[in-house]
Chains A and B, each alone.
Chain A
Amino acid sequence: MPKDTGIGASSKRREDIRFLTGRGVYTDDLALHGQTHAVFVRSTVAHGRIRSIDTTKAAAMPGVLAVFTGEDFKDVGGNPAGWLINSRDGTPMREPKRPVLAYGKVRHVGDAYAAVVAETYAQARDAAEQLAADSEIEELPAIIDMKAAVADPSNRVHDEIPDNLCFDWGWIEDNRAAVDAAMKAAPHVVTLELVNNRLVPNAMEPRASIGEYNPGTGDYKLTTTSQNPHLTRLLVAAFVLGIPENKLQVVAPDVGGGFGSKIYHYGEEALVLAAAKKLGRPVRWTAERSESFLTDAHGRDHVTKIELGCTKDGQILAIRTETLANVGAYLSNFSTATPTFLHGTLMAGPYKVPHVYVNVKTVFTNTAPVDAYRGAGRPEATFSLERVIDKMCRELNLDPFEVRRKNLLTPDQFPYTTPVGLVYDTGNYHATLDRVMAMADVAGFETRAAESKKRGKLRGMGLSTWIEACGIAPSHLVGVLGSRVGLYDAATVRVNATGNISVMTGAHSHGQGHETVFAQIVAEKLGIPESSVEIVHGDTAKIPFGMGSYGSRSLAVCGTAMAKAVDKIIAKGKKIAAHMLEASEGDITFENGKFQVAGTDKAKTFGEIAFSAYVPHNYPLETLEPGLEETAFYDPANFTYPAGAYICEVEVDEGTGKVDVVAFHCADDFGNVMNPMIVEGQVHGGVGQGIGQALCEFTAYDETGQLLTGSYMDYPMPRAEDVPFYNVDYSCQTPCTHNPLGVKGCGEAGAIGSPPAVVNAVIDALHRGGHTHVKHIDMPVSPSRVWAAINGQGG
């Protein structure tokens, strides 16, 4: 019988009422007295030397209040990379300064080198256009293609970096010789070269920021579209502008999706704060969609060669990869971690593989910065692995289900130390594989394929079995791996005098439904109604601390901090109850919202204890502080490891190359599930994005560095007509062993597991149609690419 409240219930999302009635408050919805408008002047060339900027005319235009150029910020700090990665030879990565506004050179189309603030948006825009006309930028040859960037050391994105390489990373370098030897000795080696296509995250709410400054107090306030307001505060205050953190409040109100792109600090946030200080008035900026396309951190963009050594019956013996990863023109905050520790560490997948070696060369190009996008590194690892395994099955004429079964880790092998540095704590990968095969009616596939054929379509079925490391992250481990921050989290649980509760969490909800799920957990633990719990997030002035939401960490890390703070409340409540009930603390039990002397009917309700804490007339004041509010910080002992098995069925039109996803089945193990309805939605969204990557989305720069796909007319987002209903199951549950909720995280699963399932299905369909020469098609598997592959052009 499903529960109707608390942990495990599909409680309705309380945030929805405001969104459904147009009462959500996103950054751009705020209007402030005396507000001014900033417009940025952005480079129209991919690579250029700034010869001169004449601000005279722009500054004199109607309504213009201030003009800024890169020179104004030359002496403040750069926006730093969050992870230091060392190259194979031990040298640290090259880390060019990322300034608030570009000076000296512009390095990608959209790179902001000046800004205008004016009374109205139209005035600011007019003046920004004048300023663009009065800027002399000498265009330099653009560095776009990664292979060319590395091959031609004469042309440099950053003058001080000779080969455009950020680092050349080996994981694990000490294992390389053993992996090479295992590969050489393997009876069969499968090789696949593939591209993990560059994506634009495209949160539906464009980035927006409002800076405020109070000259009377010296206090700053930044309202911004962020997934992690504390991290933004740290970056903009401590690293860039040099503002003491206690003088800067960062608020991320309702945020319209992030998918990674709103983790990072961007220069616009620093500009609106600096401008607000200069003018003593609020300064606002909202990206146009074209600015989002040009300047939001993009995702993926790997070129990989993967080799898999195996026996003739499909036992995997060794995996070796070489990847070129694009970081774009500057290092975004997580950009060095994404292709390394979020990618290389997952290259063993859910399999028992004795030898794995990963090499990643990260390359600067004259394109927008590239950073974590839903899944971040793990989709790239999963795609490479699941595609090469599919290719192995075709080369050796093996059944893909049996090959997975043969190689998957078994439940008795946990905890399992992988050859790429992780310890998987628990899982049951065969269970999810069995489950998805039942869901997909694998046995009935031939009948469906025959029916498709009657309609002139080729039907194919693709499988992927995936794993990820999330619940980011154990600080001691990421510290060893180069992280410059800790990745713990914090929560404060404040019990108010009348027994209702405010929870201040370091997680940030931008679609995930934390306000509902977190309240379910607190309510269940305290035996009170969900409606008595309010979740507060997104404001550094209200929340103790937090590293925000990404990497499926909200529940596993922030939720655990919250659960621990609730435990402290209960522990203090027991002390108060012991005094009031004249019993010893050890005899007090807490169940269903009641503190009770064990074995008696003497009890106090949670509300009575709360009231007593704030009206301490009968209270042990000599030994206990009044009030009932607790804060907990929690640093996870390990990553969490959600895993699952996905099956995709497609129909391919041979005449046009058009692919339709006709069925998609997901069997996931997320550990314990707090709200099934919300979990389903997370998987749906991830799969939708994964199908988008597999079939539609492509970010194209031409050779001069112009973004050809800079609008929704050119960048094909998946639309309602492009995707099917999804068949989602999360009944295989092996609870995480190292957090008290037993949760693993579900936010990224769909985007990780789905792209290879789709592509494997397309290749399967083509082979069934006799097009056995097609070994691989790069994503997006668009009609033109499929048609070309069928007709022997490429593929």
Chain B
Amino acid sequence: MSRIHVTATVNGDPVEFLADPRETLLDALRNHLDLTGTKEGCGTGDCGACSVTVDGTLVCSCLMLAAEANGKRVETIEGMARDGLHPLQRKFIEHAALQCGFCTPGILVAAKALLERNPDPSETEIRYWLAGNLCRCTGYDKIIRAVQDAAAEMRQDHRGAA
């Protein structure tokens, strides 16, 4: 089967690779671009470990074909820290909102997408938004608190900047 030439922007960098037509975006990120921060927890879109954004939309990269990323802007966990850690990353450390770390990249990408849509989510809104991301270690408590705390800080910074 002939391969498909894909060009895209990943974390701000132009990339190109040859994708098998059946290959998922997740496999392309991990195997062609060496971006192994995005994880496969289930391969069926049920656990959220493979969360990335494509043109700003949160997707499970295990459910999207690599070829579909052609011409798109993809953001992964590796692109999250710019000029130092993102407030979510800092708050995750402060609250110890992770343990084994396997689900963490997906949760951070998903939480960032939430805060970009809704800078002031309620606890319930955070829990529902992150319901697509499974974590077996933390019982979610510290994750929710870290997201609340990061949101508060980002709102503060936003007001300070305005």
> Which residues of A are interface residues toward B (Cβ below 8 A)?
12-13, 15-26, 28-29, 31, 122, 202-206, 254-257, 259, 288-289, 510-513, 677-678, 680-681, 684-689, 691, 711-713, 717-721, 723, 725-726, 750
- B102 close to A712 (CB less than 8 A): no
Q: Give complex CA distance A13, B101 in Å.
A: 11
Minimal Cβ-Cβ distance residue in A for B124: A721
Contacts across chains A and B counted by CB atoms under 8 Å: 178
B43 at the interface (CB under 8 A from A): yes
Q: Give complex CA distance A22, B80 in Å.
A: 9
B136 at the interface (CB under 8 A from A): yes
Q: Give complex CA distance A18, B77 in Å.
A: 11
- B41 close to A257 (CB less than 8 A): no
- A689 close to B136 (CB less than 8 A): yes
- B42 close to A712 (CB less than 8 A): yes
Minimal Cβ-Cβ distance residue in A for B81: A21
Q: Which of B2-10, B103-111, B153-161 sits within the interface?
A: B103-111
Q: Which of A17, A21, A511 contacts B78 (CB 8 A)?
A: A21
Minimal Cβ-Cβ distance residue in A for B22: A122
Minimal Cβ-Cβ distance residue in A for B86: A20
B133 at the interface (CB under 8 A from A): yes
- A22 close to B99 (CB less than 8 A): no
Minimal Cβ-Cβ distance residue in B for A714: B46
- B139 close to A511 (CB less than 8 A): no
Question: Closest CB of chain A to B2's CB: distance in Å?
Answer: 15
Minimal Cβ-Cβ distance residue in A for B144: A720
In the complex, per-residue mask of B89-117: 1 if CB is within 8 Å of any chain A CB, else 0: 10011101011111111001000000000
Q: A20 — which chain B residues lie within 8 A by C-beta?
A: 77, 85, 89, 92-93, 98, 101, 104-105, 108
B151 at the interface (CB under 8 A from A): no
Residue from B39, B76, B127, B143 with most neighbouring chain A CB atoms (10 Å): B39
Minimal Cβ-Cβ distance residue in A for B31: A31
Interface residues of B in 47-86 (CB under 8 A from A): 47, 49, 76-78, 80-81, 85
Q: A288 — which chain B residues lie within 8 A by C-beta?
A: 43
Q: Given that A23-B37, A511-B101 are contacting pairs, would A204 and B49 also be in contact in the complex, using a CB cutoff of 8 Å?
A: yes
Q: Which of B35, B41, B46, B131 contacts A720 (CB 8 A)?
A: B131
Minimal Cβ-Cβ distance residue in B for A20: B89
- A688 close to B41 (CB less than 8 A): no
Q: Give complex CA distance A21, B41 in Å.
A: 18
- B96 close to A677 (CB less than 8 A): yes
Q: Which of B30, B132, B141 contacts A726 (CB 8 A)?
A: B141
Q: Give complex CA distance A379, B101 in Å.
A: 26
Q: A726 — which chain B residues lie within 8 A by C-beta?
A: 139, 141
Question: Closest CB of chain B to A772's CB: distance in Å?
Answer: 33
- B42 close to A289 (CB less than 8 A): yes
In the complex, per-residue mask of B15-52: 1 if CB is within 8 Å of any chain A CB, else 0: 00000101000000011001111111111101101000
Q: A255 — which chain B residues lie within 8 A by C-beta?
A: 100
Q: B152 — which chain A residues lie within 8 A by C-beta?
A: none
Question: Closest CB of chain A to B61's CB: distance in Å?
Answer: 13
Q: Give complex CA distance A224, B140 in Å.
A: 27
- A711 close to B42 (CB less than 8 A): yes
Question: Closest CB of chain A to B102's CB: distance in Å?
Answer: 3
Minimal Cβ-Cβ distance residue in B for A675: B96
Q: B39 — which chain A residues lie within 8 A by C-beta?
A: 26, 204-205, 256
Q: Given that A19-B104, A204-B100, A257-B100 are contacting pairs, would A711 and B136 also be in contact in the complex, using a CB cutoff of 8 Å?
A: no
| Supplied contacts A256-B39, A289-B41, A689-B136, 16 more A-B pairs, CB within 8 Å | A16-B96, A20-B85, A22-B35, A22-B77, A202-B134, A203-B100, A203-B136, A204-B100, A256-B100, A257-B100, A289-B44, A512-B99, A688-B139, A688-B141, A720-B130, A721-B131
Q: Give complex CA distance A510, B89 in Å.
A: 20
Interface size class of B (residues with CB under 8 A): 35 or more
- B93 close to A713 (CB less than 8 A): no
Q: A718 — which chain B residues lie within 8 A by C-beta?
A: 139
- A513 close to B101 (CB less than 8 A): no
Minimal Cβ-Cβ distance residue in A for B27: A121
In the complex, per-residue mask of B113-131: 1 if CB is within 8 Å of any chain A CB, else 0: 0000000000010111011
Q: Give complex CA distance A26, B36 in Å.
A: 9
Jot down 30 A-B pairs with beta carbons below 8 A, ordered by A.
Answer: A19-B100, A19-B104, A19-B105, A20-B104, A21-B37, A21-B77, A24-B37, A31-B34, A122-B20, A122-B22, A202-B136, A204-B39, A204-B41, A204-B103, A254-B100, A678-B96, A681-B96, A681-B138, A681-B142, A685-B99, A687-B139, A688-B140, A712-B42, A719-B132, A719-B140, A720-B140, A720-B144, A725-B144, A725-B145, A726-B141
Q: Which of B37, B77, B100 contacts A205 (CB 8 A)?
A: B100
- B43 close to A720 (CB less than 8 A): no
Q: Which of A12, A206, A712, A721 contacts B46 (CB 8 A)?
A: A712
Q: Give complex CA distance A16, B139 in Å.
A: 17
Q: Give complex CA distance A506, B143 in Å.
A: 29
- A16 close to B101 (CB less than 8 A): yes
Question: Closest CB of chain A to B160's CB: distance in Å?
Answer: 24
Q: Give complex CA distance A257, B39 in Å.
A: 14
Q: Given that A681-B138, A717-B134, A720-B130 are contacting pairs, would A205 and B46 also be in contact in the complex, using a CB cutoff of 8 Å?
A: no
Q: B37 — which chain A residues lie within 8 A by C-beta?
A: 21-24
Q: Give complex CA distance A132, B134 in Å.
A: 32
- A711 close to B100 (CB less than 8 A): no
Q: A720 — which chain B residues lie within 8 A by C-beta?
A: 126-128, 130-131, 133, 135, 140, 143-144
Minimal Cβ-Cβ distance residue in A for B42: A289
Minimal Cβ-Cβ distance residue in B for A719: B131
- A257 close to B102 (CB less than 8 A): yes
Q: Which of B47, B78, B130, B137 contacts A712 (CB 8 A)?
A: B47
Q: Give complex CA distance A29, B26 in Å.
A: 12
10 smallest CB-CB distances across A and B, nearest first, come from A22-B37, A688-B139, A19-B101, A256-B102, A511-B100, A712-B46, A511-B99, A22-B77, A684-B139, A29-B36
Q: Which of A25, A206, A684, A689 contacts B41 (CB 8 A)?
A: A206
Q: A21 — which chain B residues lie within 8 A by C-beta?
A: 37, 77-78, 80-81, 85, 89
Q: Which of A13, A23, A510, A685 contacts B139 (CB 8 A)?
A: A685
Q: Given that A16-B92, A20-B92, A720-B126 are contacting pairs, would A204 and B80 also be in contact in the complex, using a CB cutoff of 8 Å?
A: no
Residue from A18, A256, A680, A712 with most neighbouring chain B CB atoms (10 Å): A256
Q: B30 — which chain A residues lie within 8 A by C-beta?
A: 29
Q: B100 — which chain A residues lie within 8 A by C-beta?
A: 19, 203-205, 254-257, 510-511
Q: Give complex CA distance A717, B140 in Å.
A: 12
Q: Give complex CA distance A259, B139 in Å.
A: 13
Q: Give complex CA distance A199, B96 in Å.
A: 27
Q: B101 — which chain A residues lie within 8 A by C-beta?
A: 15-16, 18-20, 24, 254, 256, 511
Q: Give complex CA distance A685, B20 in Å.
A: 40
- B94 close to A204 (CB less than 8 A): no
- A204 close to B47 (CB less than 8 A): yes
Q: B128 — which chain A residues lie within 8 A by C-beta?
A: 720-721
Q: B103 — which chain A residues lie within 8 A by C-beta?
A: 204, 256
Question: Closest CB of chain A to B35's CB: distance in Å?
Answer: 7
Q: A750 — which chain B residues lie within 8 A by C-beta?
A: 139
Q: B139 — which chain A residues lie within 8 A by C-beta?
A: 684-689, 691, 718, 723, 726, 750
